[in-house]
Chain A
């Protein structure tokens, strides 16, 4: 099993190298640093001196891969690729194009993101599974039918409308919670309640429907018929046998997103004014801060790959077939 995990880790590292090279190509080959400088400075202020100054301040004036002017190892290290891309592997994120320390920003802003995402994730999972179990328990009845109708209807509504509608109803109409903002400590709860609630509601449609399909697929298997033939009650069959076996496909989709919770939710955070990584990314995109976008792309892939490896590990824990093969 250790060998298996090690193999997955090495593969993950290879994938990260691929991501790194890909982002580098995307950011430096499609447009030259000159183009980016011009886009950043705006059309009016572009002079060759300003472009050169902008590039020099941010270290984009070095050669891309090979610095002929330097000697020894510096030939390879004193380049844009090494400074901007390779250093990401040791989590040295450098400065943003606006001159802020990205590493510091990320370390402070990931906690508000997590404060929204983690409760939304846990409550969401409980709600979705319960709702799906309810539909599966009453399968082929009106409750099941209208449950599915509700799911399809809810998944046809854009996430933006859930946020706008939630802010309107809970914030403006009923005045229960502030519309947006953030605070530290226990005061944060009143700011977090609505984003968490909306995060849960907006996911019900697709998730509950998906879990229902998984449960129904499991219910139609032979071992369930055997369990019923033994005389087990329907509740016991559902909770003891079906739920446990359905956890395997559910785990695939769930464990992989856990590390990504750090990244926050772009839209939610920007609507609710939560100073997390999601709103950080949105601000970077609107200011065309390429350094931050590049770092976030890399960080996102790192977290995703951690999620994949966690999924593999969790498989070995829940599924004996994987453990012994």
Chain B
């Protein structure tokens, strides 16, 4: 028997399809110098490479959360049954966080609950005390005396491991570079820190170092404490924050993926054919873009909700329902946001169709379809690439707002939006519960900031106006 069966949710399949496509695209790009050139410019940008390092860490977490399985239950009568719950690889790794539920709020690294409770003392009297947590710091005999030293020791050990890991990875990168250049590792290491390498490895090392310094202590403390505290129902906040990453990444990437074919096909057709095709497509996108974005999304999501409620039989489990809702949200976001890129591509196609090489293609009798595929599409790819990376951060931010309005992801799905939504009322509590919001804030800011910086680097590298003008 198998210890588990792999469960492909729809979004998982699409995410992995995207990964395969990205790898294929990367391999294709590698072999073509003219495609490689802009990416080489991206690789020369220090902020871009640092942002890419951070993004890679987020993507790693997101991908781990996109491998779902159902575990086998203990055998009963020779037949293997599988759990109904769908878990991801990330859930498995974070098992200590997921299973250690407390009763309610507890502060980061706390050993006691955040609210007083009436407990019966041994002599029969009752008292209002802060009870000990079931899991957080449960290994301490005397929390008051031991806590400080224990936390410091564990954090220090984690820090040491983090730095060690950082050093190993950094040396590994240097070794790889050294092999390509036929130079000594030590020399590459020194060049990298002096900023003499073509790719700004110093920025990558700094970003990597910062990540390791943060992750090390957190990973060392997480099995024993709730590093970022627990929320109202006692769930670990760090676990929620890590799970939110996948939701944000899926929305940011799949929505643009849905938008892309609409924008590309319609935009190029409008610019290339002109005449009534252009009029029709222009009318279409003016109409769609004249509806304020949030309202259009809200209306579409409301309709989707009604559909899901009335067809409950199509969605057997909560996970599947939440997943379908997530996908539907991506589709809606994509369908409502193609107009901007479409307009840009139309303008570019209008310009390109008058170029001499297109005229030459016409003269040779190349069909319209082939002209568009072979001669126009490759020449608008820089616009597409810039739009793809620029839209990502906006979509991650939009998810939070939409979830607040009530038209975002399924309430059972952990996302930055649902985290903020459930945490915002806690600010009014006395004493205040700040850690849920702080965690969502830090994770979201890091993800969006990294995405924005990377997008800027990509734009600077791909935009021909900026390259020719020599400005940045």
User: Could you tell me the distance in whole angstroms from the C-beta of B48 to the nearest C-beta in chain A?
Assistant: 12
Give the dominant DSSP class at A's interface. Answer: helix
The reply on A281 being an interface residue by CB < 8 A is: yes
A9 at the interface (CB under 8 A from B): no
Minimal beta-carbon separation of B393 from chain A (angstroms): 7
- Complex CA gap A172/B426 in Å reads 13
Q: Do B306 and A22 touch (CB < 8 A)?
A: no
The answer to the question of A38 belonging to the interface, with a C-beta cut-off of 8 Å to chain B, is: yes
Q: Is A153 on the interface with B (CB-CB < 8 A)?
A: yes
Q: Contacting chain A: which of B32-40, B128-136, B217-225, B401-409?
A: B401-409
Within 8 A of B (CB), among A267-288: 267, 281-282, 285-286, 288
Interface residues of B in 289-338 (CB under 8 A from A): 290-292, 294-296, 298-300, 302-307, 309-310
User: Does the CB pair B294–A31 fall under 8 Å?
Assistant: no
Q: Which residues of A contact B286 (CB under 8 A)?
A: 15
Q: Does B76 contact A (CB under 8 A)?
A: no
> A156 near B452 (CB under 8 angstroms)?
yes
Chain B: residues with Cβ within 8 Å of the partner, total of 46
Contacts of A315 in B (CB 8 A): none
Do the beta carbons of A36 and B298 come within 8 Å of each other?
A: no
Instruction: Kindly identify, within residues 87 to 130 of chain B, every residue whose CB is under 8 Å from any CB belonging to chain A.
Output: none
Docked complex Cα distance between A160 and B404 (Å):
9
Q: How far is the CB of A293 from chain B (nearest CB, A)?
A: 5
Shortest CB-to-CB span from B427 to chain A, Å, is: 6
- Chain A residues with Cβ under 8 A from B299's Cβ? 23, 26-27, 293-294, 297
Q: Select the stretch in B148-156, B262-270, B340-348, B442-450 that faces chain A.
A: B442-450
| Binary flags per residue of A132-164, CB closer than 8 Å to B gives 1, else 0 | 000000000000000000001101111111001
Q: Is the CB of A297 within 8 A of B449?
A: no
B424 touches A26 (CB 8 A): no
Within 8 A of B (CB), among A171-187: 172, 179
- Among the stretches A80-88, A233-241, A247-255, A300-308, the one at the interface with B is A300-308
The answer to whether B400 has its CB under 8 Å from any CB of chain A is yes
Is B384 engaged at the interface, CB distance under 8 Å to the other chain?
no
Interface residues of B in 428-462 (CB under 8 A from A): 428, 437, 441, 444-445, 448-449, 452-453, 456
The answer to whether B283 and A155 have CB atoms under 8 Å apart is no
Cβ–Cβ < 8 Å partners of A293 in chain B: 295, 298-299, 302
B287 at the interface (CB under 8 A from A): yes
Please give, as numbers and ranges, the residues of chain B lying within 8 Å of A159 by CB-CB distance.
397, 401
Complex contacts, A290 vs chain B, CB 8 Å: 302
Pair A297/B291 contact, Cβ less than 8 Å: yes
Q: Are A300 and B291 in contact (CB under 8 A)?
A: yes
A117 CB-CB contact with B under 8 Å:
no
If A39-B306, A160-B420 touch, whether A19 touches B295 (CB-CB below 8 Å) is no
A-side residues, CB < 8 A to B, are 14-16, 18-19, 22-23, 26-27, 30-31, 35-36, 38-39, 43, 152-153, 155-161, 164, 167-168, 172, 179, 216, 220, 260, 263, 266-267, 281-282, 285-286, 288, 290, 293-294, 296-297, 300-301, 304-305, 308
**Known contacts A27-B303, A263-B292, A293-B302; 7 further A-B pairs (Cβ under 8 A):** A18-B287, A26-B299, A27-B299, A157-B441, A160-B424, A281-B295, A286-B406
28 contacts between A and B (CB under 8 A): A15-B286, A16-B290, A22-B288, A22-B291, A23-B291, A31-B303, A38-B309, A152-B453, A156-B393, A156-B448, A157-B445, A158-B397, A158-B420, A158-B444, A160-B401, A160-B424, A161-B437, A220-B471, A263-B292, A267-B401, A267-B404, A282-B405, A282-B406, A288-B306, A290-B302, A294-B299, A297-B295, A304-B290
